[in-house]
Amino acid sequence: MVSKKIVVGNMKMNLTAQEINQYLKEFEKKEISKNVIICPSTIYLPYFVGKKFQVGIQNVAAYEMGAYTGEVAAKQAKSIKVDYAIIGHSERRSYFHESDDIIREKITLALKEKLKVILCIGETEEERDSLKTYKVLKKQLKTALQGLDYKEVFNIVIAYEPVWAIGTGRVPSNLEIHDTIAFIKEIVEELTQHKLPVLYGGSVTDTNIKTLNKIENVDGYLVGGASTKVDKFMKIIEVVVPQ
Ligand code: PEP
pLDDT of residue 148: 84
202 lines ligand 1 (CB under 6 A): yes
Task: Kindly state whether residue 58 falls inside one of the protein's structural domains.
Answer: yes
pLDDT value at residue 3: 60
Containing 199, the helix (H) or strand (E) segment is strand 198-201
Residue 228 in contact with ligand 1 by CB distance below 6 A: no
Pick the catalytic residue from 31, 89, 97, 189.
89
Ligand 1 center to 181 CA (angstroms): 17
Helices first, then strands: H and E counts in the chain: 10, 8
Per-residue pLDDT of the chain (243 residues; tens, 9 = 90+): 556 899 999 999 999 999 999 999 999 998 899 999 999 999 999 999 999 999 999 999 999 999 999 999 999 999 999 999 999 999 999 999 999 999 999 999 999 999 999 999 999 999 999 999 999 999 999 999 988 876 788 999 999 999 999 999 999 999 999 999 999 999 999 998 899 999 999 999 999 999 999 999 999 999 999 999 999 999 999 999 998
In total, how many domains does the chain have? Answer: 1
Residue 1 lies in a domain: no
Is the residue at 205 inside a domain? Answer: yes
Is residue 14 within 8 Å of residue 34, measured between CB atoms? no
Atom number of ligand 1 nearest to Cα 166: 10
In a domain, 102, yes or no: yes
Q: Does the annotation count 178 as an active-site position?
A: no
List Cα–Cα distances, 196 to 39, 101, 155, 181, 219, in angstroms: 21, 21, 9, 11, 9
The secondary structure of 23-84, three-state, reads HHHHHCCCCCCCCEEEECCHHHHHHHCCCCCEEEECCCCCCCCCCCCCCCCHHHHHHCCCCE
Q: How far apart are CA 236 and CA 27, in angstroms?
A: 13
Which of 91, 98, 105, 161 is flagged as catalytic?
A: 161
Domain containing residue 102: 6-240
At residue 31, the pLDDT reads 85
How far apart CA 2 and CA 192 sit, in angstroms, is 17
CATH number at residue 131: 3.20.20.70
216 is annotated as an active-site residue = no
Task: State which of 157, 223, 235 you would mutate to test the pocket of ligand 1, scoring each by most atoms of that ligand within 8 A of its C-beta.
Answer: 223
pLDDT at residue 146 in the model: 83
pLDDT at 30: 86
Cα separation of 42 and 56, whole Å?
A: 9
In a domain, 20, yes or no: yes
User: Ligand 1: distance of its center to the CA of 66 in Å?
Assistant: 31
Q: What is the pLDDT of residue 219?
A: 98
Does the pTM of the predicted model rise above 0.85? Answer: yes
Which residue has its alpha carbon closest to ligand 1 atom 5? Answer: 202
- Residue 110 and residue 59 in contact, taking contact as beta carbons nearer than 8 Å: no
